[in-house]
Amino acid sequence: MATLTSFEDLECYRACRRYRIHVAAFCKSLPLPEEFRLKSQLLRATRSVTANIAEGFGRHHHQENLQYCRQARGSLTETLDHLNVGLDEKLMDQAMYKELRSEQQTAAQILNGYISYLKKATLQK
């Protein structure tokens, strides 16, 4: 297995980054009244996901990294609620919702795998 030299090497970071980019593209389609409501919430939550993964990696300690990844997972889950709001308020169609929800779930699965790895690594020390 190759040595990780950057948080950018983490598959969970790459998946969450792709999701963040996709959500940001969707946000550009939101109407102006949502500028400081749903758009702002979605952008902050998705940015929090990747920022927490990066910060945790930079701590160079499994236990601290684990805590930041749990924060990232919370923010990732928060985005699902924001997607539900977008669907409920007819700000997105069913196809966009399914696409973003699927991408969110994939990112969450990959992040959960990394969290499991960190838990095991913490227990081994």
Q: Which domains does the chain have, with CATH numbers?
A: 10-124 (1.20.1440.60)
CA distance 3 to 67: 22
Name the pTM for this structure: 0.93
- Phi, psi (5° rounding) for residue 92? -150, 155
- At 100 the pLDDT is 98
Token pair, residue 91, equals 């700000």
pLDDT tier at 3, thresholds 50, 70, 90: confident
pLDDT tier at 94, thresholds 50, 70, 90: very high
